[in-house]
Structure 1
Amino acid sequence: MTERTAPDDRTAPDGPLDLTDVSDLTDPLDFPGAAQLLAAGEVPPPAPVAVTAAREAVPRAAAAEATVVPLRTTRVGRRRGLLVATAAVAAIAAGAVVYPVLDVGGEPAATAAASTFLDDMAAVAADAPATHAPYWKVRVETVNHDDGERTDTTFFDRAGRIWSVDGDGTVHEPPMGKKGKLKKWPVGKKWLTWPELDKLPTDEKALTALFPKDANSRFGQVVIMLEDSPASPELRAALFRILADTPGTKLIGDVRDSKGRAGGGVEITTEVRYGTGPDKGVKYRTTDRYIVDPDTGLPLETTHKIRGRDLPADRYTWLEVGPAGQVG
């Protein structure tokens, strides 16, 4: 980031700078794209998630700049920040959406809007009641290129044993002994059972250290945990905060899943290699999208799309995830 060293001839000598003094600021609509916004005329109102994000981004930007002023920031820096915030508000008023990006150097940071939304989801998750139920129920509709479409209903207990239930209600008991598979979730290079999840740290920094450093892999593992694990409210809150700080995560806004349910969507795009034989090493971009119910913090749908390939996105629609008193 370029260091600002321009002299400040408007610094108040005996007190803090007045952020409300905008008498000499340039036209608030003097920014790239303003003419196009004005020429667009009437457009549909922006999504509520977008409006909330923009409103929250303005005081965040002002607060952040106010914090660094005593160190080295000049009035020139303040004016630029205010103009960016004003431009965002003007764009929202015109029906467009602007999501400012927090530059932390290196790979792109999560957008400010995504961080705001996911921090809100962390607060929602933290307020949810803890469960002491003996079982956890998951009903999910899966659609992918290889298997087609199916709906699976499973129950698992705290030991990780898995029961499956057919559409007609037939319950299939888990195999006895070592042949039975246990329900586990990935955390870094380990796969953890329900009791092991309860032992994970809920401090964001300590928990982040357990997940992959690669942003896309971290996003994937955290989302898997948020999808169908019986993580405690404190652990879920920490997981949302990790997503909020994962580079490349961006907010999609108000979206609906394949069932028409309204939610807030976040996604991450990365470059991967696919193919075998002559096609080995071909690069494609993939996008993983996670839609969450903003009122409950519970999962609605996850999709994985390989961009550049004529294949539909893999889709996992979460129909029911939560505690259960019995199987069936």
Structure 2
Amino acid sequence: MKQDLMRRLTAARPEHLDPVGAVDPAVRESELGTAMRRDEEAGRATEAPRRRRLPGTRPAWATALVAGATAAATVVALAIGTEPGDGTRPAGPGGQGGPGGESGILLAAASTVEKTPITSGAYWYVAKRTTQLHKVPGKDYTLRRSHVHRVWVAAGTTKRWSELVDTGARPATPADREAWRADGAPRSWRLTGPMTPRTETLLYKGGGVIQRDVPDGKGNIVPLVEISPAEVSTLPVKPSALRTRLLELIDEDYNAPRHELERMVMSAAVDLATELPASPELRAAAYRLMASEPGVRDIGRVTDHEGRAVDAVAIRDRRGGPGERRLFFDPDTGMPIGSESRTGGRPTGFMTYTAMRWTDEPPPFDEDMSRPPPGQGREGGATAPPKGAR
């Protein structure tokens, strides 16, 4: 029951509010009420009872991290979407739509990525840097607060290691840097607001490693859509068959109305396309599935926050909210390389993949570790990363 409530909460959260940092308990409690009301209103008497998978019958391992002392404490999620001019700018011709209104960018990326050489290793390794934008209260500048999230999954198993590192806060742009210097170049900031319901301290140098989880550890890992490594290797590579199978897997795990299950198909497809150890052919099938989903449109060629020319695709919030997700793809390889988020016409954060590959190098730690992020539950400066961090 506890996992079912958490999953309802996760599924009910508006996509434009997907965080890249800590989720405050007050926010989680409010969203839980919304989730339960929506289930009563949208699912009452119109849906047949859904099967409920018993807790523990499918190990959680996917790259979204939900960890904490109870059901959840930290969420590291895909956050995407800004317009050119708000952190991105046009860098070439816009994308052209495919047949039947499908995303031409995704179809082209699928044709490219399926030619990627097949590789192997002892671990599937993904590393990404997520960045939130914070306006400093009473000041005329904005900060970029970043975390690094690393995940290792042992080949052919459900064994998963993850690490979350607070890498600190910096002025977001050159203009923000000048305003920061005029403010005396502070090395810490106390923030509060809609995304930080309680006062939180951001540190210039960050707090180092704040979360680690190992197989069979104490961390409670609950990804939005669970797809085990064994299931990834058996998924069909025809887009229509892949969609049907993903819907079946989601239906096995969730006691949710049909419209919520349909929405989560896109979440599962995005995971396959961007982070899971899919074969080149399966990754291409996920792209083609996404290309025909409602709310997907081509943005075209833009320059991302790393200064790279990327092909961008937008995914609209299917609940009609103000948020939009945008995925960035390497025009030469077709591989996913980052994303952005925007809400109400303003950028709120972005993410960059720094590694996505098979490797024989094992995780550099073998014990769980969790401690409060800087400014939550303790005061003081940054703490050096534990031994073995990299």
Which whole-Å deviations, capped at 9, do the CAs of 1:36-87 have from their partners, x for residues lacking one? Answer: xxxxxxxxx993454xx3xxxxxxxxxxxxxxxxxxxxxxxxxxxxxxxxxx
Matches of 1:119 and 1:100, distance apart in 2: 7
Matches of 2:229 and 2:224, distance apart in 1: 9
Q: Structure 1 residue 300 and structure 2 residue 346: aligned?
A: no
Match of 2:153 in 1: 156
CA gap 1:132/1:119 in 2 versus in 1, 3 angstroms:
same
Q: Structure 2 residue aligned with 1:228, among 275, 291, 295?
A: 275
Match of 1:8 in 2: none
Match of 1:47 in 2: 92
- Structure 2: give runs of 5+ residues left out of the alignment: 1-89, 135-143, 168-207, 248-257, 365-390
Give the structure with the larger helix fraction. Answer: 1
Q: Structure 1 residue aligned with 2:126, among 138, 146, 167?
A: 138
Matches of 1:291 and 1:247, distance apart in 2: 18
CA contact (8 A) 2:297 2:314 kept: yes
- Structure 1: give runs of 5+ residues left out of the alignment: 1-44, 54-98, 103-108, 273-282
CA gap 1:49/1:176 in 2 versus in 1, 3 angstroms:
closer
SS in 2 for 1:205: helix
CA contact (8 A) 2:91 2:301 kept: no
Matches of 1:165 and 1:266, distance apart in 2: 27
Matches of 1:269 and 1:123, distance apart in 2: 24
Cα offset for 1:322? 1.3
CA gap 1:292/1:216 in 2 versus in 1, 3 angstroms:
farther
Cα offset for 1:173? 7.6
Matches of 1:143 and 1:195, distance apart in 2: 32
Aligned residues: 211
Match of 1:92 in 2: none
Larger Rg: 1
CA gap 1:46/1:161 in 2 versus in 1, 3 angstroms:
closer
Could you tell me which amino acid in structure 1 is paired with residue 332 of structure 2? Answer: D
Superposition RMSD on alpha carbons, in Å?
3.6
CA contact (8 A) 2:297 2:315 kept: yes
SS in 2 for 1:326: coil
Cα offset for 1:293? 0.6
Which whole-Å deviations, capped at 9, do the CAs of 1:162-198 have from their partners, x for residues lacking one? Answer: 143868x99x985453636669672xxxx11222211
Cα offset for 1:251? 0.8
Q: Structure 1 residue 194 and structure 2 residue 229: aligned?
A: yes
Match of 1:326 in 2: 361
CA gap 1:148/1:216 in 2 versus in 1, 3 angstroms:
farther
Moved more, 172-181 or 158-167: 172-181
Q: Structure 1 residue 270 and structure 2 residue 314: aligned?
A: no
Q: TM-score, normalised by structure 1?
A: 0.54
CA gap 1:182/1:232 in 2 versus in 1, 3 angstroms:
farther
Match of 2:216 in 1: 177
SS in 2 for 1:177: coil
Matches of 2:268 and 2:352, distance apart in 1: 17
How high is the sequence identity, in percent, across the aligned residues?
A: 25
CA gap 1:230/1:269 in 2 versus in 1, 3 angstroms:
same
SS in 1 for 2:317: strand
SS in 2 for 1:255: strand
CA gap 1:284/1:184 in 2 versus in 1, 3 angstroms:
closer
